[in-house]
Structure formats: C-alpha cells, structure tokens
C-alpha cells in the first residue's frame, strides 16, 4: 500500500540534458521518464524546512529531537535514497531568472551538503555519477540526490534516478516549498487527488504559528482546501496555545474552526502552560485510535500527578483570568512597535514571537551576548537554522512584564543596536 503524507509540499522531479545511455533527450522526455520511474516507487513525501530541521543540538541546544530528521532511523526502516528537492518559487524557465534561481537554491544546498559531510558521513553520501550510485548502494549507505523544482537541476542527471531504480531502491523525497503558499497547496492537492492508484488518505500538516518568524498559518484557507479535496488536516499549535483565540485557546479558536474541520490538533504544555508534556486533540475516534495504535503512547509512562495537576491549574487560569492573554498582546504590540520605530527589522511577525533580524550570524551572536551582559536574555538564531542572511535574535514576549521593564529593555536594545551599527 502506497501512502502519501502531504504538508505544503510537491513531488520532486529531476531534469537534465542526458539519459543514462548518454543520448540527448528533450526536457519533456526527461520529465516523462522521471515521472514514469517515480510512479513505480514507494514514496513518502514530507515537507521540512531544511535550514531548521538539519540543525544539531550543538547549533541550538533547545532543538526538539522529534522535529529533527533522523536519517539513521530512516535507514533502519528501509530507506534507500533521499531526494532533496529545493523549491525556489520560479514558475517559468527563463534566461533572466536562471542564475537567481540557482543562487536562491544554494542556500538550501549548503545545508544538505553539511548534513551529508558533517552530521551523517557514515550514513549518507551525495552521488554525482551513476557509478557513485552503485558504489554507495553496495556500501549500504544512503544516496542523497539534490534537485530543484520546476524543470531545473544542478549537478545531477536522470541516469542517477534510472540507476537506483534498477537497483530496486525505495525513495524518500524531502522537499522545500513556498511558505504559506495556498496556490502551491492547491496544485499539490490536485495532483494527489488524481494520483493512480488512488492514495488511501491525504493528510495536510502545518504549524499554527511558525517559530522562527512568528507568522500565522492561514488555517481557514487550508481547512477550506482540505474539505474541497477530502483531505484530513493536522495542525501543530505549540506556539499558538495560550496566545491566539478566545482566552488563548489557540489557532483553531482564532479562525473560529472546530475539530470537524481540523481533525488533529497537537499542542505542548511546556510553553504557555509552563509545565511539561503535550497533547493530541480531536474526535473520539481519533483518541481511541491513538490509544490503541500510537507506539509512543503505548510505551510511555503517565504524567506524574503534580505535573498533571499543575497543567490543569494552568488551563484553569487561562479560562478564568483573561487578563493574562490581554497583557501578553499589550506587551507584544508595545515592544514590537518600539523596536520597529527604532529601525529594527521584525520580519513577518504576527504574534508574541518577535524576531529582530540582523543579517550575519556573528552579528546575531554578538548582539545576544551584549544584551546578556546588560541583563537582557535573548537567544540568537543563526545559520543553518535560518538562511545565512537572516540571522536574528528572537524575543518572546511575557504577560507579566510591566511597561517600565519593557522600556528598560528597549533602551538597552537601542543602545547596543547603535553600537553594533544594526540601526
């Protein structure tokens, strides 16, 4: 049984100028051949942000292990090759945009190379020829092919796809697509719904609030598309609970949806609630299914009673003391407006996650260190967790801070920002 797990993604195809036997092929023939091979593979399609998910605990001590791609475990599970397709948002192949497309893609390619060469050198290798494919396969390692969407390819040719197909390999495709791109989601769902043989189930997976930029998924539009195509919808609302919606109920409440339209809602108790653990919420059928089929549930111990009691108390506070969420948004709007007025770049933030984008990783680290020396603790977010030119500190607002305390922080941020020539 073939299955497809679809976030905001698309299937990767590789296009070049030569076939395995070296004869010239048109672009249409190349795409047709790649599509033919791909249709015969056992494929899991997943949407990952390469710059974030291939970070290591050394780069970010707070990284969540369950959010990181674990290639050794994939290998143990029977994975034979990993195709990394980098989507760069160019819909037409033109002479003018080709060089820009390549430049945009190289940022993600850097992360993939780093993964193969530094993180898992004994598990994965990047092939450049068909002979490389055979050698890597015989050595029992993963072959990481790098391609680019919309008919482009860099450094790969279809002979790699044909060679590994001939070896009987199965494939995992990891793709990076347009962020919050509903038009792209439409295309993916249309392709998935028309697939032959039909997929047993289509599942759209999205964050509610995106942790690096603080922007919000258009869950109402995504839910609409899910209904139109008979797809299930899963939202990770770790950063939305205690923040969005009525009394902090989260993104489902924010968009006035319910669990008839959002089938799976995941959350954590370790952020706004201030305890530990998390939850999966949905219909009674979903809960019973998880109780009986989820390996992590079956093999986990229950929460200690004090933790469960503290979590229930935190939920009670949110339900009965609405001023906490109100204070959070008051502080968010006050601080964000102040740093924007000073000339800092806060990106696309729509929530109490407020990035202050400074560009170079060294600059973000220096800003964070100098703020810490002045009693302001803000974590730097650097490459490869974000693109090379998008390093930042990430301010996360708190409901209990006073305006006087925020003014002191703003004063320090302004002074150090000027010293470092950020503003």
Looking at the annotation, which residues are catalytic? 211, 239, 271
Tell which residue, 196, 195, 221, has the closest CA to residue 206: 221
Q: Could you tell me if 177 and 87 are in contact, meaning their C-beta atoms sit under 8 angstroms apart?
A: yes
Beta strands 264-268 and 278-282: pairing type? Answer: antiparallel
Burial status of residue 414 (CB atoms within 10 A of its CB: 0-12, 13-18, 19 or more): middle
Q: Which of 33, 14, 17 is nearest to 25 (CA)?
A: 17
Let me know the angle formed at the C-alpha of 198 by 192 and 199, rounded to the nearest 5 degrees.
65
Q: Rounded distance, CA 13 to CA 251, Å?
A: 34
Give the C-alpha separation, 35 to 24, whole Å.
18
């Amino acid at each position: 049984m073939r299955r497809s797990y679809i976030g905001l993604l698309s299937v990767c195809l590789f296009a070049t100028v030569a076939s395995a036997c070296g004869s010239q092929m048109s672009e249409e023939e190349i795409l047709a051949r790649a599509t033919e091979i791909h249709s015969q593979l056992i494929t899991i399609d997943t949407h990952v942000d390469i710059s974030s998910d291939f970070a290591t605990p050394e780069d970010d001590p707070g990284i969540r292990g369950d959010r990181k791609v674990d290639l050794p475990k994939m290998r143990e599970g029977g994975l034979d090759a990993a195709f990394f397709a980098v989507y760069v948002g160019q819909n037409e192949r033109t002479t003018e945009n080709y060089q820009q497309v390549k430049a945009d893609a190289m940022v993600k390619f850097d992360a993939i190379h780093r993964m193969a060469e530094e993180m898992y050198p004994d598990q994965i290798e990047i092939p450049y020829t068909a002979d490389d494919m055979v050698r890597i396969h015989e050595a029992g390692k993963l072959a990481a092919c790098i391609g680019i969407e919309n008919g482009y390819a860099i450094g790969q040719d279809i002979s790699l796809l044909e060679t590994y197909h001939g070896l009987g390999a199965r494939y995992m495709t990891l793709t990076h697509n347009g962020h919050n791109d509903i038009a792209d989601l439409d295309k993916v769902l249309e392709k998935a719904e028309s697939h032959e043989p039909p997929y047993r189930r289509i599942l759209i997976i999205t964050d509610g609030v995106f942790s690096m930029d603080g922007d919000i998924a258009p869950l109402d539009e995504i839910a609409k598309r899910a209904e139109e195509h008979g797809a299930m919808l899963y939202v990770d609302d770790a950063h939305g609970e205690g923040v969005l919606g009525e009394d902090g109920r989260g993104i489902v409440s924010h968009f006035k949806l319910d669990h008839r339209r959002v089938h799976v809602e995941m959350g954590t108790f370790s952020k706004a609630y201030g305890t530990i653990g998390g939850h999966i919420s949905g219909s009674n059928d979903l809960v019973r299914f998880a109780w009986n089929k989820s390996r992590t549930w079956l093999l986990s111990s229950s929460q200690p009673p004090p933790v469960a009691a503290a979590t229930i108390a935190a939920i009670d506070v949110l339900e009965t003391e609405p001023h906490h969420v109100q204070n959070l948004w008051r502080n968010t709007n006050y601080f964000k407006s102040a740093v924007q007025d000073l000339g800092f770049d806060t990106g696309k933030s729509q929530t109490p996650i407020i990035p202050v984008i400074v560009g170079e990783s060294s600059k973000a680290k220096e800003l964070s260190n100098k703020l810490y020396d002045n009693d302001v603790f803000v974590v730097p977010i650097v490459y490869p967790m974000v693109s090379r030119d998008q390093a930042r500190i990430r301010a996360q607002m708190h409901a209990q801070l006073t305006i006087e305390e925020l003014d002191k922080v703003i004063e320090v941020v302004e002074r150090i920002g000027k010293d470092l020539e950020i503003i």
